[in-house]
Amino acid sequence: MIRNAPEWRIDDDPVDYPAAVADMDARVAVIRNNAARELVWLTSHRPLYTAGASADPAELLTPDRFPVYDTGRGGKHTYHGPGQRIAYVMLDLKARKPDVRAYVHALEDWAILTLARFAVRGERREGRIGIWVVLPGGGEAKIGAIGVRVRRWVTLHGLSLNIDPDLSHYAGIVPCGIAEFGVTSLAALGQHVEMAEVDMALRDTFGEAFAAFGLDDPEGQPVGSASFSVQS
């Protein structure tokens, strides 16, 4: 069965992280039972660190700085906070295309296509998860993080893009376990955009990025705010 296009939810205000995880868990359960549409949820959180399934405690450099949450997604430590757009994606891969690698590739494409709308070239790097940019003065920095969990073929978590966060907050961790490269944002690269513009770009590029999953002709409109590990 191929599902209809996902529902979209967009939050204007930060959402409590544990509540967001609980909402994802509940939504995934009903998606799996064909009792709800899939969901693309654009949101943000107050400053916090998350620890993925392969996080090294030694890479949490200042554990008392912000709340720290263990999470079932893949990856290591990452930061979430204001000025960052988080996209939680809940798709039924079994109904669409049961290929986790292709799904992660689509998330990367989504970030790259979105950044291109703001004249920023996002790139993949072999052996380094996430989305990277070449800095004007040389060197590279990370602008987007990806962390995925799949439960009974329904996806959780997803993508975060740095729009204009406080980049000093990353000093409390080794981001994604990669110490030799820094992090950046659209604002740090000279692109000062409103979050609504980012949301529109994410909406506009979603179908192209996920065309292989039958999402090349998304329907419906975003709604206002209302509220890689695999599990069999």
CATH number for the domain spanning 128: value is: 3.30.930.10
pLDDT class of 51 with cuts at 50, 70, 90: confident
What is the C-alpha to C-alpha distance for residues 49 and 70, in angstroms, rounded to an integer?
Answer: 9
127 lies in some domain:
yes
Q: How many domains, in total, are found in the chain?
A: 1
State pLDDT tens for residues 64-103: 999 999 887 877 888 999 999 999 999 999 999 999 999 9
154 lies in some domain:
yes
pLDDT class of 2 with cuts at 50, 70, 90: low
36 lies in some domain:
yes
State pLDDT tens for residues 185-201: 999 999 999 999 999 99
141 lies in some domain:
yes
What is the C-alpha to C-alpha distance for residues 139 and 30, in angstroms, rounded to an integer?
Answer: 45
48 lies in some domain:
yes
pLDDT class of 33 with cuts at 50, 70, 90: very high
State pLDDT tens for residues 153-168: 999 999 999 999 999 9
User: Of 31, 91, 174, 176, which is the active-site residue?
Assistant: 176
DSSP readout, 125-187? ETTEEEEEEE-TTSSEEEEEEEEEEEETTEEEEEEEEESS--GGGGGGB-GGG--SSEE--TT
Active site residue 176: yes
pLDDT score, position 85: 98
Q: Is 200 helix (H, G, I), strand (E, B) or coil?
A: helix
Domain limits for position 111:
7-214
228 lies in some domain:
no
